[in-house]
Amino acid sequence: MDSSDTFDRKTLSQTSLTPLTAFRLRKPEAKDGQAIQSLVKSTGVLDANAEYAYVLLGAHFAGTCVLAEDDNGLTGFVSAYRLPDNPDVLFVWQIAVGERARRKGLGLAMVRDLLSRPNLKDITMVHATIASSNAASIGLFRTLADFLQAPFETQPFFPADYFSKGHEAEPLITIGPFDNNL
Ligand SMILES: CC(C)(COP(=O)(O)OP(=O)(O)OC[C@H]1O[C@@H](n2cnc3c(N)ncnc32)[C@H](O)[C@@H]1OP(=O)(O)O)[C@@H](O)C(=O)NCCC(=O)NCCS
């Protein structure tokens, strides 16, 4: 079963968000790096990484990353990886959904798509850092915790002074432990 099959079956059967049929989910490839960086920049909220970093994600971390396309091109991306010292934890690094695709369930569907992959069945926790002003992202992860029926907790992690002036602190949010039945 490929990633897009999983997306159609789970998302459309478990929610009423029919516009999601417009999106196709797949693993990124190295050649997607440039388009991914453009999408991340277009959010105006995320720290865009170097193009090369997104090329590397497609080359080496495709198993824990997902992108979404519609007929107009790339419109969603999630980068994530297993914590090197605690591989049961999926750390979600960045989630970006293009303006035209927001509030249709795509952000949540991409994370669910990752968790439903055979190579991630043993994941029992999701971690991410989210600035406290980012209501959309906090809402997304709270919805994910509800969906997984898992505890959602926040704790201090990266203080603002780790970053250049103007950057907010990045508290750690943790979801889990959960049984990954997706
Ligand atoms: C955060 C982001 C990825 C959400 O993507 P999305 O596809 O619009 O989110 P979804 O439609 O899957 O929403 C899932 C849940 O998240 C919450 N949510 C999403 N957008 C929200 C918003 N603007 N305000 C409050 N809650 C929001 C809701 O609880 C929503 O469930 P509901 O629609 O049933 O109420 C998107 O807004 C985005 O790309 N923002 C800019 C980049 C960013 O901040 N990324 C996250 C930091 S890494």
Rounded Cα distance between 33 and 66, Å, is 12
The confidence score (pLDDT) of residue 41 equals: 98
Distance 20 CA to ligand 1 centre (A): 14
Q: Is 41 in the pocket of ligand 1 (CB under 6 A)?
A: no
User: Angle at Cα 48 formed by Cα 144 and Cα 53, nearest 5°?
Assistant: 95
- Assigned token pair, 96: 């970006």
What number does the ligand 1 atom closest to the CA of 106 have?
7
Cα 136 to middle of ligand 1, angstroms: 4
Distance (Å) from CA 95 to ligand 1 centroid: 9
This prediction has a pTM of 0.91
The minimum-distance atom of ligand 1 relative to the CA of 129 is 48
Mean pLDDT of successive 10-residue stretches along the chain, which has 182 residues? 41 47 95 98 96 98 98 97 98 97 96 97 98 97 97 98 95 97 88
pLDDT at 20 (0 to 100): 79
